[in-house]
Amino acid sequence: MKKPLNFVITAGPTREFIDPVRFLSNPSTGKMGFSIARAAAKLGHKVTLIAGPVALKTPSGVERVDVVSAREMFNAAKEAVSTDCIFIATAAVADWRPKTCATKKLKKTEMSDVIKLVRNPDILKSISGCVKIGFAAETNDVLEEATRKCREKNLAMIVANDVTEEGAGFGTDTNRVVFIYPDGRTMPLKKMSKLAVARRIVRECENICS
Ligand code: C5P
């Protein structure tokens, strides 16, 4: 085995509460991030997995930190990263949160038909000083959008996929991805299980850090 690396991985959705029983979120299941955590631990690497609310078991040998909101995920990520780590952001972080969260359940009669939103921090963009890998789930202009994000967020690589394609994206067991690098190079992979994609990503991280 190559030198053990220190992986910090975000996974799953975040929840942004409107009141104690209502929230904004998305359909992420966390499968991709958990698969990377599992593959990296199996290959002998140290792994910290920062997980939003998901129904998945912690892979063996992985240290898991559970969070709910984007701001909690950001704080956990800042605490976990170090200059020698590889930060892989697979989480589907909610880009917006309600400006206020009511302390008691809002009655229907008290609810407005408008919810004021504020931007959440971009965790991947804000983390600095380590090797960063991102994901880009796109519905159109996949390569252009992913390349732009790779450069804008200062990533070593971005893993892009078209979420409208069958067997790729939210909740599926398979994925068809393209690795994209900041210099514009691309490496398309064939459709494979998320665990196989995960192994390829971990191997690519080993190459990037060698
Ligand atoms: O800009 P976009 O949301 O498409 O970027 C996707 C990448 O950025 C993913 O790797 C995702 O985990 C990360 N991200 C993040 N914090 C956000 C939004 C996205 O870490 N607030």
CA pair distance 176, 125, nearest whole angstrom: 24
Return phi, psi of residue 183, to 5°: -80, 5
Would residue 184 be called left, alpha or beta, if left means φ above 0 and alpha means ψ between -120 and 50 degrees? left
94-126: pLDDT as tens digits: 999 999 999 999 999 988 899 999 999 999 999
123: CA distance to ligand 1 center in Å?
7
122 lines ligand 1 (CB under 6 A): yes
Q: Which residue range is the domain that position 14 belongs to?
A: 6-98+111-208
Number of domains comprising the chain = 1
CATH number at residue 136: 3.40.50.10300
pTM reported for the whole predicted model = 0.95
Residue nearest to atom 2 of ligand 1 (CA): 136
Count of alpha carbons within 13 Å of 159, Cβ hemisphere only? 26
Domain assignment present for residue 1? The answer is no
DSSP string, 115-148: --EEEPP-HHHH--SSEEEEEEEESSSHHHHHHH
Is residue 119 domain-resident? yes
Decide if 106 is inside a domain: no
pLDDT tens digits along 72-85: 999 999 999 999 99
Model confidence over 198-209: pLDDT tens digits? Answer: 999 999 999 999
